[in-house]
């Protein structure tokens, strides 16, 4: 597991992320033409308007063209989109601009900063909450496995060179929140079993808890995956990155819930006392031991 | 066992009914409509509604003018009548109204009475323009410092205190005096007058006596806030001039403004109107100056040369009598002799300033200087923190003779034509942006792409739900059907809540959020059902298994949803636009899904199985 994490880490480091417009700043224009269009014509038309170094690509069909470029520092924004529009119309009078975006470099930088802040803040809040509800060893396990999930998702984006924009960032955070659900299901069961099965060694206890919750971990992720798959197939190009992030994130979040999250507390030498509060409370599970013993 | 009390069941039914009621407006479509606003954001009165009604009736006698929130709305069955009525209205209503074609939600009256309205769609779903604008605060502060310097001069002159020099040094003002005595006198006056500044006095090494005025941090903050708010007001008025339906003008952060214009495609025109960062000032014309030498740039020390529209030089005093931000209104019209004129209304402060000034200057000429800011193309990227630089472009748009002492209301006559009067009024009215603004982000979504996004979103939602429902029925049978019901409740409740919350906007990621919450809502059911199965396997009776299943799964469900809620909340706080919409849906969705999956679902289970002996549970 950790080997895979290292692999994705490596990918991330070498390949880098394909940062979207939201973070880099720049211009994106999407144009729909009534008939097939020659990209070279669009390029030279752009050059005539003084826009150089633009990336011109087809997307979807050969009638749809996306144009993206970094404007020169001194270019006036007001004229940029107008120039692109003129260049597109020159190739064919019936061109329709379906979408255009401009993000200034300062704004992009801020968005990137707030994105990082959001991810770190989420992880810290989760760490504190789990430490409060369970134990710091469990919290460490949860946060490490969540970091693993994030790295894997980013690694995929790096590998496939899919654009990393704001909606993808939102999806990464959602994955963080969602993937934690599975981990808490397992943690809850570990705590419950720790109260009930006094004599079982911690390793076996963890093992048993994971096995007991395995089917629901898989089913809950499965049901969410069904809807995310539907988003991926029908949601369209604008939220493709978003849906893909959720899909990858949920798959690997499930894997990390089963294999990563619970391993760490054991490595950190967690003991039964860490999980059970000192005071003795009336516990609904307490009288179950005999029945459970028989059934196993 | 497994019975909710009656009030519990009633409460659940009540909540679901309320959800359904407020989700209902989304099922009605939209009516063709005409929307009429007062110009410059002024609310319409009942009298004006009657006026509109009188104009509309001859053209369309079935039309009904609705009056709400200071604006009028007329609904139509067919587009031809609508266009006909619009032409008539635009022709007859005049300058004080803005008439725009619009779509109005066809929510029935009784639903509107209780506050029901359909979801507000974001720009990515309905198409339109989004701008993020940044205010040049440095320029705003500079302007205010200059005003303060004027005030210091006036104040000291009134007190007959002689100063030798006053100038701005960044955000501080330094006033120099000849001797310590004068400085002390001035110190008393200034520290009383400028309570928002830290006033210090000292004797410099070179023998100068200097009072330094530094603006207090909290005053600076207020100043920035008011600069942003004033700009927001002016932009709002300009947006109204565009005649957009449901525009959004909102502050974001310290010095930014978001402008959203749904349904607008012509970004060039919108930018022209929004970006016209114009200010005005009135100055005295120096009639004694020699035009010949002025043309070559030689003027008296207190004067400067500006040019009018035809490029002719005009020598004006450097001192500004009044700035345009005191202008409340400017209207073009005709005087007694049917000559074009412009009527100007000032606020109280502006009125007293101009009244004091003109008392001593009857017969002199006053020039109206129009100032625009344009972005400078700069090679030095590091200058000014990478923020755009602005260039000041000044032009004299009018020179008029002061005929008498002026007050809060006065008029400019002697204009060449009615169109000139009209243009001058428009320019005066355009208001004064306290600081130049620059567009730092622009997003434009065409209407067809918006429609495509809606279709995609609904498809994803529909197929996702169907697939999920089929899985649940196969895997959990009757209990699966109950979970599916909860799923449906959840969807309705979520849509109802989103429609109810003012300011909530549905975006494409928002729809994705709904789809995702639906998938996650089932998780709670799965946790409960798996637990029930487990309890049954452990040899418990059906009733007890159901009871324990719900009870034991709840802590887990609560914990796991709470952490997702934390993340959604963080996302809501840092996110903007579509991402914020998604986070809101996620947060509301978590609430509604816990309610429907745990409580509503339980109510159904209790109704079917509770309180009687059940041999076998279909799970």
Contact A77 B439 (CB under 8 A): yes
Which pLDDT belongs to residue A78? Answer: 61
Best residue in B538, B541, B570, B594 for a mutation probing chain A (most A CBs within 10 Å): B570
The architecture of the domain spanning B29-106 is 2-Layer Sandwich (3.30)
- Segment A62-83, tens digit of pLDDT: 888 888 888 776 556 667 777 8
Which residues of chain B make contact with A78, given a CB cutoff of 8 A?
Answer: 268, 271, 275, 375, 439
**What token pair was written down for B24?**
């209902």
The architecture of the domain spanning A26-103 is 2-Layer Sandwich (3.30)
Confidence class for position A293, pLDDT limits 50, 70, 90: very low
In A, minimum Cα distance to B464 occurs at A227
Q: Does B443 touch chain A (CB under 8 A)?
A: yes
Q: Measured between alpha carbons, how far is residue B523 from residues A181, A182, B483, B486, B533 in Å?
A: 9, 10, 10, 12, 15
Residue B390, Cα to own-chain centre: how many angstroms?
Answer: 24
In B, minimum Cα distance to A23 occurs at B441
In B, minimum Cα distance to A185 occurs at B556
Within 13 Å of residue B569, how many CA atoms lie on the same side as its CB? 13
Q: How far is B58 from chain A (nearest CA, A)?
A: 40
Query: Is the confidence at residue B592, as pLDDT, over 90?
Result: yes
**In chain B, where does the domain assigned CATH 3.30.70.260 lie?**
29-106
Query: Is the confidence at residue B432, as pLDDT, over 60?
Result: no
Contacts of B541 by beta carbon, 8 Å cutoff, 6+ apart: none
Q: Averaged over A140-150, what is the pLDDT?
A: 90
Distance CA B584, CA B589 (A): 8
DSSP assigned state of B308: B
Q: What is the third-level CATH fold of B278-432?
A: Gyrase A; domain 2 (3.30.1360)
Q: Does B527 touch chain A (CB under 8 A)?
A: yes
Q: What is the third-level CATH fold of B138-220?
A: Gyrase A; domain 2 (3.30.1360)
Which pLDDT belongs to residue B39? Answer: 57
Q: Which residue from B268, B519, B583 is facing A224, i.e. has the nearest CB? A: B519
Q: Does B609 touch chain A (CB under 8 A)?
A: no
Which residues of chain B make contact with A246, given a CB cutoff of 8 A?
Answer: 516
Contact B459 A105 (CB under 8 A): no
Contact B566 A166 (CB under 8 A): no
Q: Which residue from B132, B527, B567 is facing A107, i.e. has the nearest CB? A: B132
Which pLDDT belongs to residue B241? Answer: 60
Q: Is the dihedral of CA A87, A90, A91, A96 positive or negative?
A: positive
Q: Does B378 touch chain A (CB under 8 A)?
A: yes
Q: Note the CATH number of domain B6-24+446-609.
A: 1.20.1640.10
Contact B571 A118 (CB under 8 A): yes
When comparing pLDDT for B99 and B389, which is higher? B99
Confidence class for position B54, pLDDT limits 50, 70, 90: confident
**In chain B, where does the domain assigned CATH 3.30.1360.100 lie?**
138-220
Q: How far is A237 from chain B (nearest CA, A)?
A: 9
Which pLDDT belongs to residue B604? Answer: 92
Contact B443 A118 (CB under 8 A): no
Query: Is the confidence at residue B511, as pLDDT, over 50?
Result: yes
Distance CA B585, CA B337 (A): 63
Query: Is the confidence at residue A289, as pLDDT, over 50?
Result: no
Contacts of A209 by beta carbon, 8 Å cutoff, 6+ apart: A186, A189, A190, A192, A193, A262
Cβ atoms B202, B212 nearer than 8 A: yes
Q: Which residue from A125, A184, A212 is facing B559, i.e. has the nearest CB? A: A184
Cβ atoms B364, B402 nearer than 8 A: yes
Which pLDDT belongs to residue B376? Answer: 46
Q: Averaged over B190-198, what is the pLDDT?
A: 84
The CATH number fitting domain A107-295, selected from 1.20.1640.10, 3.30.70.3420, 3.40.47.10, 1.20.1630.10: 1.20.1640.10
Which residue from B516, B422, B74 is spatially nearest to A227, judged by alpha carbons?
Answer: B516
Confidence class for position B612, pLDDT limits 50, 70, 90: confident
Q: Which residue from B267, B378, B567 is facing A173, i.e. has the nearest CB? A: B567
Distance CA B465, CA A235 (A): 14
Contact A231 B515 (CB under 8 A): yes
pTM of the model: 0.75
Q: How far is A254 from chain B (nearest CA, A)?
A: 13
Q: Does B552 touch chain A (CB under 8 A)?
A: yes
Which residue from B375, B370, B387, B384 is spatially nearest to B433, judged by alpha carbons?
Answer: B370
Confidence class for position B409, pLDDT limits 50, 70, 90: confident
Domain ranges of chain A: 26-103, 107-295
Distance CA B235, CA B250 (A): 10
3-state helix, strand, coil in chain A (%, to 5): 70, 10, 20
Which residues of chain A make contact with B472, given a CB cutoff of 8 A?
Answer: 223
- Segment A93-137, tens digit of pLDDT: 888 888 888 888 778 888 888 888 888 888 888 889 988 888 889
**ipTM score over 0.90, yes or no:** no
């Amino acid at each position: 597991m950790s080997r895979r994490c290292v692999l994705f880490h490596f990918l991330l480091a070498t390949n880098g992320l394909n940062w979207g417009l939201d973070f880099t700043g720049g211009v994106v224009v999407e144009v729909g033409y009534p008939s097939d269009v020659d990209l070279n014509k669009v390029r030279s038309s752009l050059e005539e308007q003084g826009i150089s170094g633009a990336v011109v690509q087809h997307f979807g069909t050969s009638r749809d063209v996306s144009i993206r470029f970094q404007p020169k520092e001194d270019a006036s924004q007001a004229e940029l989109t107008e120039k692109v529009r003129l260049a597109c119309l020159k190739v064919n009078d019936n061109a329709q601009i379906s979408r255009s975006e401009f993000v200034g470099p300062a704004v992009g930088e801020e968005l990137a900063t707030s994105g990082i802040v959001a991810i770190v803040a989420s992880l810290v809040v989760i760490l504190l909450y789990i430490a409060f509800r369970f134990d710091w060893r469990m919290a460490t396990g949860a946060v490490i496995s969540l970091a693993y999930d994030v790295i894997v998702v980013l690694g995929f984006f790096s590998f496939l060179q899919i654009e990393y924009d704001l909606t993808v960032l939102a999806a990464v955070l959602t994955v963080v929140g969602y993937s934690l659900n599975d981990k808490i299901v397992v943690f809850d069961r570990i705590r419950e079993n720790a109260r009930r099965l006094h004599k079982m060694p911690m390793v076996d206890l963890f093992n048993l808890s994971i096995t007991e919750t395995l089917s629901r971990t898989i089913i809950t992720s499965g049901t969410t995956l069904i809807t995310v798959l539907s988003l991926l197939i029908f949601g369209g190009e604008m939220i493709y990155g978003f849906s893909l992030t959720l899909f990858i994130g949920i798959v690997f979040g499930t894997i990390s819930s089963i294999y990563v999250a619970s391993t760490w507390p054991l490595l950190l030498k967690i003991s039964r006392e860490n999980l059970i509060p000192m005071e003795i409370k009336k516990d609904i599970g307490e009288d179950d031991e005999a029945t459970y013993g028989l059934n196993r | 066992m497994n019975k909710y009390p009656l009030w519990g069941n009633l409460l659940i039914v009540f909540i679901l009914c309320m959800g359904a009621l407020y989700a209902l407006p989304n099922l009605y479509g939209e009516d063709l409509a005409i929307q009429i606003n007062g110009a410059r954001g002024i609310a319409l009165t009942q009298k004006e509604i009657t006026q509109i009604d009188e104009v509309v009736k001859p053209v369309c006698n079935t039309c009904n003018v609705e009056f709400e929130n200071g604006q009028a709305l007329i609904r139509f069955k067919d587009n031809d009548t609508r266009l006909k009525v619009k032409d008539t209205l635009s022709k007859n209503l005049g300058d004080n109204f803005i008439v725009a074609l619009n779509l109005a939600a066809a929510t029935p009256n009784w639903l509107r009475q209780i506050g029901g309205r359909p979801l507000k769609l974001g720009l990515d779903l309905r198409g339109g323009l989004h701008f993020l604008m940044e205010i040049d605060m440095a320029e705003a502060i500079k302007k205010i410092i200059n005003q303060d310097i004027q005030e210091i001069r006036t104040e000291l002159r009134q007190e007959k205190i002689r100063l030798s020099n006053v100038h701005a040094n960044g955000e501080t003002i330094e006033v120099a005096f000849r001797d310590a005595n004068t400085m002390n006198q001035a110190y008393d006056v200034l520290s009383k007058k400028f309570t928002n500044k830290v006033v210090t006095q000292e004797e410099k090494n070179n023998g100068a006596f200097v009072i330094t005025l530094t603006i207090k941090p909290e005053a600076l903050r207020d100043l920035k806030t008011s600069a942003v708010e004033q700009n927001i007001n002016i932009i709002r008025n300009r947006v109204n001039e565009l005649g957009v339906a449901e525009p959004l003008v909102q502050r974001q952060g310290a010095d930014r403004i978001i402008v959203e214009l749904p349904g607008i495609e012509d970004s060039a025109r919108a930018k022209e109107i929004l970006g016209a960062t114009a200010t005005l000032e009135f100055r005295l014309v120096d009639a004694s100056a020699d035009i010949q030498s002025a043309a070559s740039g030689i003027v008296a020390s207190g004067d400067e040369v500006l040019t009018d529209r035809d490029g002719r030089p005009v020598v004006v005093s450097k001192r500004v009598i009044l700035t345009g931000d005191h202008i409340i209104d400017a209207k073009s019209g005709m005087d007694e002799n049917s000559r074009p004129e412009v009527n100007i209304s000032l606020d109280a402060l502006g009125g007293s300033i101009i009244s004091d000034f003109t008392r001593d200057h009857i017969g002199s000429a006053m020039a109206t200087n129009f100032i625009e800011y344009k972005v400078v193309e700069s090679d030095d990227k590091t200058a000014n923190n990478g923020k755009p630089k602005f260039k000041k472009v000044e032009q004299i748009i009018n020179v008029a003779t002061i005929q008498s002492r002026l007050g809060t209301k006065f008029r400019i006559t002697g204009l060449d034509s009615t169109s000139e009067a009209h243009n001058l009024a428009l320019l005066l009215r355009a208001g004064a942006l306290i600081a130049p603004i620059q567009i730092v982000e622009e997003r434009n979504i065409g209407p067809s792409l918006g429609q495509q996004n809606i279709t995609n979103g609904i498809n994803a939602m529909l197929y996702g739900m169907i697939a999920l429902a089929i899985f649940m029925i196969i895997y959990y049978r009757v209990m699966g059907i109950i979970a599916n019901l909860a799923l449906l409740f959840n969807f309705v409740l979520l849509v109802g809540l989103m429609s109810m919350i003012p300011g909530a906007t549905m975006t494409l990621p928002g729809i994705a959020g709904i789809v995702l919450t639906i998938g996650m809502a089932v998780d709670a059911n799965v946790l409960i059902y798996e637990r029930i199965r487990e309890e049954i396997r452990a040899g418990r009776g059906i009733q007890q298994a159901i009871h324990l299943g719900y009870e034991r799964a709840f802590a887990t469900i609560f914990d796991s949803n709470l952490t997702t809620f934390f993340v959604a909340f963080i996302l809501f706080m840092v996110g903007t636009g579509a991402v914020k919409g998604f986070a809101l849906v996620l947060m509301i969705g978590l609430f509604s899904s816990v309610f429907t999956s745990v409580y509503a679902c339980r109510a159904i289970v209790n109704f079917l199985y509770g309180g009687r002996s059940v041999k076998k549970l279909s799970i």
